[in-house]
């Protein structure tokens, strides 16, 4: 439960969903990643780095993305000072209180367990439109308010059957973008 991991969790929330009015959606995202690594804080940062394009690196170790929004997200600090590269058209004073709530929520997250998961049905998350969403992923509504991310559960399959890769995908063709609204 280091300060560096708390800061990283907060930055990853902003990278994925900007500055939400409440950090509840951050908790859903953090829990989904934590579940994948058995709620082991030592593995959580690595899991998020694999999942989030802000943190992805090239083989030479440099960041894959190094422009605009990505720069100020990585420059967010634990305090309430305006990060380097902050957009000139935005007012940090408006985002500062939300940033403070996200950092506090990240600290709280590290003490949570599987039982605290705010959306236990969800198994995956991503933007509202994702390329090649498998047909057995079903959209899940995790929050009472609008969600910035799309959350998915996996459709149960009948015993004795198996999931198969669509023929077009197996042949190397890209699947069409698909958006399934929440039921």
Separation of first and last alpha carbons in the chain: 37
**Helix ranges restricted to H, 63-170:** 68-75, 92-109, 167-170
8 A C-beta contact, residue 106 and residue 26: yes
pTM of the model: 0.78
> 39 Cβ partners below 8 Å, 6+ apart?
112, 113, 114
pLDDT tens per residue across span 54-86: 888 889 988 888 888 899 999 999 999 999 999
Q: Give the integer Cα–Cα distance in Å for 77 and 99.
A: 9
Q: Give CA separation, 169 vs 75, 136, 140, 174, in Å.
A: 38, 15, 24, 6
pLDDT tens track of the chain, all 183 residues? 589 999 999 999 999 888 887 889 999 999 999 999 999 988 999 999 888 888 888 899 888 888 888 999 999 999 999 999 999 899 999 999 999 999 999 999 988 888 899 999 999 888 766 556 788 888 899 988 788 888 889 887 666 555 555 555 555 555 555 555 555
């Amino acid at each position: 439960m280091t300060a560096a991991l708390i800061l990283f969790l907060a930055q990853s929330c902003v990278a994925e969903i900007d500055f939400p009015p409440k950090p509840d959606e951050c908790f859903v995202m953090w829990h989904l990643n934590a579940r994948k690594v058995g709620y082991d804080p030592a593995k959580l940062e690595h899991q998020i780095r694999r999942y989030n394009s802000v943190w992805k690196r090239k083989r030479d170790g440099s960041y894959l993305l190094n422009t605009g929004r990505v720069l100020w997200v990585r420059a967010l600090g634990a305090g309430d000072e305006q990060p380097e590269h902050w957009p000139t058209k935005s007012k940090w004073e408006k985002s500062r209180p939300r940033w403070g709530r996200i950092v506090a929520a990240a600290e709280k997250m590290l003490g949570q367990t599987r039982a605290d998961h705010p959306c236990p049905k969800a198994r995956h998350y991503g933007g509202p439109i994702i390329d090649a969403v498998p047909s057995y992923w079903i959209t899940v509504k995790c929050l009472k308010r609008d969600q910035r991310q799309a959350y998915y559960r996996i459709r149960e399959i009948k015993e004795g059957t198996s999931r198969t890769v669509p023929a077009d995908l197996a042949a190397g063709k890209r699947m069409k973008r698909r958006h399934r609204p929440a039921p």
